[in-house]
A and B are shown apart, each in its own frame.
Chain A
C-alpha cells in the first residue's frame, strides 16, 4: 500500500520536475508529461466521484456516499474548472516551440492550479465516522508519547 501511495508522490514530483526542464527531452515534452499526469489523476477522480453519488448504481450507502447536493453544487463545478484549466494548458503547451529551453511559468501555474483543485475535491470524498474516530484516537496516542 505504501509503495502505491509513494508512486503517486514520485509521479507528481517527476511530472513537476519535468515542466521547464530541458534535460529530460525538452521543455515542451516536460510540460506535456506534467499535464498528462495531472489529467489522468483528474479523469480518475471524476469517474470515481460520479460512482460514489448516493443512490447511483454501485454507490456505497451513507456515510460513504457523496450527497447529490455536494456533487452538484461543490464537486462538479470544481471539476469543470479543473478541465477548463487543462484545456487552457493544452493550448499553451501546443504553442511552445520544440527547441525552446526557457522556463514555462504559465504551464507550471496552470498545472499547479489543477493539482490544488484535485486535492480540494479529494478531501470532499467522504470518510466514515469510524475512520475519523480512528484518526482522533491515533492523535491522542501520539500526544501521550
Chain B
C-alpha cells in the first residue's frame, strides 16, 4: 500500500476518524484541566459552569430536533 492508498483510506474514514481523534484530544485536555480544581467552592464553580453549558447545548439540540 503506497502513500496515496493510505491517504485515500484516511479520507474514506473521515469524518468519523477525525471526530474520534478530536474527541480523544478534547477528553484528555478536559481531564487535565479538571484535575487542577481544588476545594469545594472551586469544584462547585466548575460544576455550575459545566451545567450552564449543558443547558445551552440542550436548548440548541432541542431547537435542531424535529420532535
Contacts and interface: CB of A to CB of B under 8 A. Distances in A.
Interface in A72-105: 72-73, 76-77, 79-80, 82-84, 86-87, 90-91, 93-94, 98
Given A7-B25, A28-B40, A131-B9, A48 B19 contact: yes
A15 B61 contact: no
B55 A87 contact: yes
Chain B, interface residues (CB within 8 Å), range: 35 or more
A145 to B, nearest CB: 18
Contacts of B39: 98
B57 A79 contact: yes
A134 interface: yes
Chain A, interface residues (CB within 8 Å), range: 35 or more
Given A64-B15, A79-B61, A45 B9 contact: no
Contact of B20 (A5, A36, A72, A87): A5
Contacts of A52: 15
Interface of A: 1, 4-12, 14-15, 25, 28-29, 32-33, 35-37, 39-46, 48, 50, 52, 60, 64, 69, 71-73, 76-77, 79-80, 82-84, 86-87, 90-91, 93-94, 98, 122, 125-128, 130-131, 134
